[in-house]
Amino acid sequence: MAYGTAHAGGRGRGRRAATWAAALGGCALVAASTAPAAAHGSGRTTDYTALGDSYTSGPLIPRQVDANCARSDRNYPSLVAATLPGVVFKDVSCAGATTEHMWKAQGTNGPQLDAVRRDTDLVTVQIGGNDVGFGSIIATCAQVAAQDPAGDPCRQHYGADGVDELTVAIARTAPEVARVLRAVHARAPHARVLVVGYPDLLPDDGSGCAPTVPFATGDFPYLRDTGRRLNLMLQLVARWNGAEYVDTYGPTVGHDMCKAPGDRWIEPLRPASPAAPAHPNAKGEEAMAGAVLDRLRTGRGHH
């Protein structure tokens, strides 16, 4: 996620974005996935394809197996695949990926959707953070924090025109994620499709931890809420497009980047463990793998 910039919505999406912004700007909403929890019988091969951005690929986590995409063999798809019997596994996740890269190559990584075929049984997809521009958002919020360390200069920056730009960006990303899911279903009509949400980056109670994470005090709850809105959007889009949602936020609460090195699963802007800044470390990838496996085994995600 961290390497991307905000993705501009296409022309003609204004009304849809406004509708999403209204839905996302209100109180928290819990939308339970209604997709079936079909399980593969023992003794057959499971063809599993993982799509996603840097939260999926696992930048800097040993062992890196694809320098172009900063992909680790200890990322959550690899850990999930290791538990599946007779798995045929393809991981095409790539750091910096946006929804556009489902159809467009990134360096030596071809269009991610090319890895999804008619005989694919399982697809996990974690995308949208770079479309919203979380990398540039984090950088901006850290930069403006000095203007009002006890206030919320980042929230004011993104709401200067009276409308929260980040809520709008999330709303504009919704139809792009939906388009990805429709394409996955078209290519693999029998596959079980799991949309994987993003983990808890900042304290769930809204508290701060400057200077470890250099944001202004009032911007910690603002950015926490922005992350929740992104996950809410992904949950709703999954539900409305025949996919299941995997909540990785709930299982990672209490292990955000403000916690001590031994307790955190998300590294701060100056990582102490091998991981990209503001990204899951090895324990974070293990936690996300656990959430995916829970969904696969029981059909019940963390809501």
What letters, b where the CB count within 10 A reaches 16 and e where it falls short, cover 210-238?
Answer: beebbbbbbbbbbbbbbbbbbbbbbbbbb
* 54 catalytically annotated: yes
Catalytic pick from 33, 54, 72, 78?
54
Tell me what percent of the chain is helix, strand and coil, each rounded to the nearest 5. Answer: 40, 10, 50
Specify the 3-state DSSP secondary structure of 133.
coil
For the question of residue 40 being annotated catalytic, the response is: no
* 195 membership: H or E segment, kind and range: strand 192-196
What are the tokens at 37?
Answer: 């929890």
Say which of 7, 101, 255, 279 is annotated catalytic: 279
CA distance 88 to 51: 15
- Between CA 299 and CA 9 the distance in angstroms is 33
Residues 6 or more apart in contact with residue 227 via CB below 8 angstroms: 198, 200, 201, 202, 249
Residue 55 and residue 197: Cα distance in Å, rounded?
10
Q: Would you name the residues annotated as active-site residues?
A: 54, 279
